[in-house]
Structure 1
Amino acid sequence: MTDRKDRLDGLAIGLMTILCLTWGIQQVVIKIVADFVPPLLQAGIRSAGATLAVLAWMLWRRIPLLDRDGSLVPGLWAGILFGSEFALIFYGLTLTSASRAAILLYTAPFWVALGSHFLVPGERVRLLQWAGLGLAFLGVILTFADRLAAPQPQELLGDALMVGAAILWAATTVLIKASKLRLVSPYKTLLYQLAVSSLVLLAGAALFGEDFDIPLTPFVIGAMGFQIFAVASVSYLAWFWMMTRYPVSRLSAFSFLTPVFGVLCGAIWLDEPISLALLAALILVAAGIYLVNAPARAQR
C-alpha cells in the first residue's frame, strides 16, 4: 500500500524543485537543438526513445500493459493530442523565445479548469477560480501586448502556437479525467502518449520533408539524451510517482516554478531580454493559476 501524505515533505519539495528546473531547461535545449535537428523530427526522436525507456521500466516493475480495461481508444486519442501538442511546442520554439514559450505553455491549468467546468462532472469552477482564470488570461494578453510593441509576424505566430500547445495539453488532461484513462495506471497512460506521439511526430517529419540526416555530434547526442531520459522518461515517471503519494493540488501549485525557471534559463543561456511587461505577465499567470487551485487545497 502506498503511504499517502497530506502535505509536501522535504523529499517532495526537493524533487519538485528539480523537476521544475528540468522542465524549465528543456525549453532552452529544444530551441538550441533546433539549429541541428528539425522540430518534428526532434520531438519524434524524443518520444520514441522515451517510449522504449518507459516500456522497459514498466516491464521491470511488472505493470500490466495488455489488460482489457477499455482504455485503448481514449489512449490513442491522448497520444494524438500529446503528439500534436509537442509538434506545436517544438515548432513554436523556432519562432519565439524560450522565456515567452515557458509562460504561455504553462497557462495550461487555466484551460484545464475551463474545460473541466463544462466537460467533467463535479468539477464546476467557483468564484475564486473564475478570478484566477481572469488573472491568468490578463497575463496572456499582456504577453501578446508586449510582443505587439515591436511586431514580428513569425514571433507572433510562435506565441500563438505555444498557446495552442497549452490548449492541447489541457485537452489531453480533460480527456484523461473524463474517460476510462482515469481508472488505469498513470504509467500506462504515459506510455500511450509517448508511443502514439512518436508515430505521429515522425510521420509528420517525413510528410513535411524534414531532413533526417542529423549531425551525431557529442552536443546533439547529449542534448537529445537529456530530452529522452531526463525529461520524457525520468521526470515524467517521477511526476506520476509523486501523484500517488502527495496531494495533486499541492504538486500543481508547486509546478508554477517551471515558467520562472524557463524565463531565467532563457535569459542566462540565450541572452533573451526580460521586459517589465513579461515579468508582469509571469506574475499574473502564476497568481491566476494559484487561485484556480486554491479551493482544492482548502479541502485537504
Structure 2
Amino acid sequence: MRLFGRRRFGALAFAVLVLAWASSFSVVKVGLGYAPPVLFAGGRTLLSGIIMTAVALAWGGSLDFRRDWRIFAFLGAFNVVLFIGAQTFAIMYLPSGTAAVLIYLQPILVGVFAWAVLGESLTPMKVLGLLLGFAGIVAVSSSGLLGAAEEITPVGVACGVASALFWALGTVGFKKYEARISTLWAVAVPFLAGGAVLTALGLLLESPAEISWTVPLFSSVLYSAFVGTGLAWLLFFGLVRAGEASRVASYIFVVPLAAVAIGAVFLDETLGPPLLVGAALVVSGIYLVNRTPRGAKEPPE
C-alpha cells in the first residue's frame, strides 16, 4: 500500500480506477437488461465481497473483527448498502443525466466533511475547483437534463442526493479510521456483508424469475464484481489512505466523462460538444483542488 504514496504509481492507479468505474457504467447497463436492479446490485457486490475476502485472507494481514466490527459495519452500511442501494433507485427514477449530476455531488461533500471531520484544508481555490468540477458534470449531463423535467421525481432526486451523501460519509469515515484496518479488509468485509444484505433485499422486493441467465448477464456480473467493484474500491481506498480525501475525491469527476466516451464507442451513444466543455471544466477543477501552494513541499517521486 506504500506504493500509492508514490506519484507515478498513484497516477497509474488513478487512471485504472477511472477506467474501471467508467467502463462499469456501460457494463452494468447491459446487465440490467437481464436482471432486476436490486438483485443485480446484490449479486455483483456479494461476489466481489467473496473474491476480496479470499484476497484479504492471503495478503490482508490479521483481522481483529471483535475490535473493529463497528468500523466494518459503518463502511458496509454507507459504502455498500446505502450508497449502492440509493444509487440504483436514483438511476431507476431519474434520467441518467440528472442522476449523474446528483450522485457526483460526492466530491464536494467530501471536501466539506473532510474539512469538518479530518481537519483538511478548504481553501478558496479548492472550493472553486470542486465547483468547477461539478459544473463539468452538469455540462456533460446537459443532454439528460434538457426537456426531462417531467421525468424527474422527488423520490429520484432524494435517492440521488442521498447516494452522494452516503458515499461521501463512507469515504471520510474510511480516511478517519484507516490506521486501524487493512485496506483489503476494508473492502472485503463491507462488500461481503453489504452484498448479502442487498441480495436479501432484492429477494424480498424482486423475483428471481425475472432474471435471464445469459452470457451477457454473467459477463456483466463478473466484470462489475472483479473490476468495477473489487479492484476499483481497493484502488480508491488505497489512494484515499495515501492522500487527502478531498483531493482524491476530486478525481472522481473524471469518471462520468470517461463513461460518456466509453458509451459512445461501445454502445453507440451520442458524443457531443457538452463533453468537451465538461472536460475543460473538470480538468480545471482538478488542477485547482490539487495544486500545491507556493512554499509547500512537493510529494516524493
Alignment TM class, shorter chain as reference = 0.7 to 0.9
* Equivalent of residue 260 in structure 1, options 257, 261, 268: 257
Give the residue type in structure 2 aligned to 1:164. Answer: A
Give the residue type in structure 2 aligned to 1:175. Answer: G
Shift of 1:143: 6.2
Shift of 1:20: 1.8
Question: Residue 115 of structure 1 aligns with which residue?
Answer: 113
Structure 1 residues 40, 84: CA separation in 2 closer, same or farther (over 3 Å shift)? same
Q: Kindly tell me the number of residue pairs found equivalent between the two proteins.
A: 293
Matches of 1:274 and 1:160, distance apart in 2: 28
> Taking structure 2 as the reference length, what is the TM-score of the superposition?
0.80
Contact 1:110–1:289 (CA under 8 A) maintained in structure 2: no
Question: Residue 42 of structure 1 aligns with which residue?
Answer: 40
* Equivalent of residue 66 in structure 1, options 61, 64, 67: 64
Contact 1:50–1:232 (CA under 8 A) maintained in structure 2: yes
Structure 1 residues 242, 134: CA separation in 2 closer, same or farther (over 3 Å shift)? closer
Give the residue type in structure 1 aligned to 2:32. Answer: A
1:173 aligns with 2:171: yes
Matches of 1:52 and 1:77, distance apart in 2: 19
Structure 1 residues 262, 59: CA separation in 2 closer, same or farther (over 3 Å shift)? same
Shift of 1:200: 2.9
* Equivalent of residue 16 in structure 2, options 15, 18, 21: 18
Give the residue type in structure 1 aligned to 2:7. Answer: R
Shift of 1:43: 0.9
Matches of 1:251 and 1:140, distance apart in 2: 17
> Taking structure 1 as the reference length, what is the TM-score of the superposition?
0.80
Question: Residue 212 of structure 1 aligns with which residue?
Answer: 208
Shift of 1:125: 0.9
User: 150-159 or 87-96, which moves further after superposition?
Assistant: 150-159
Shift of 1:190: 1.3
Query: CA-atom RMSD, angstroms?
Result: 3.4
Matches of 1:197 and 1:212, distance apart in 2: 19
1:7 aligns with 2:3: no
Question: Residue 27 of structure 2 aligns with which residue?
Answer: 29
How many percent identity over aligned positions? 25
Question: Residue 183 of structure 2 aligns with which residue?
Answer: 186
Matches of 2:243 and 2:293, distance apart in 1: 10
1:134 aligns with 2:131: yes
Deviation readout 1:207-250 (Å, 9 max, x if unpaired): 32x12132221111111111112222234335555667x65688
Matches of 1:145 and 1:62, distance apart in 2: 43
Shift of 1:93: 3.4
Matches of 1:272 and 1:131, distance apart in 2: 31
Give the residue type in structure 1 aligned to 2:202. Answer: A
Matches of 1:96 and 1:266, distance apart in 2: 18
Q: Helix, strand or coil: the match of 2:208?
A: coil
* Equivalent of residue 284 in structure 1, options 271, 281, 297: 281
Normalized per residue, the structure richer in helix is 2
Contact 1:27–1:98 (CA under 8 A) maintained in structure 2: no
Q: Helix, strand or coil: the match of 2:7?
A: coil
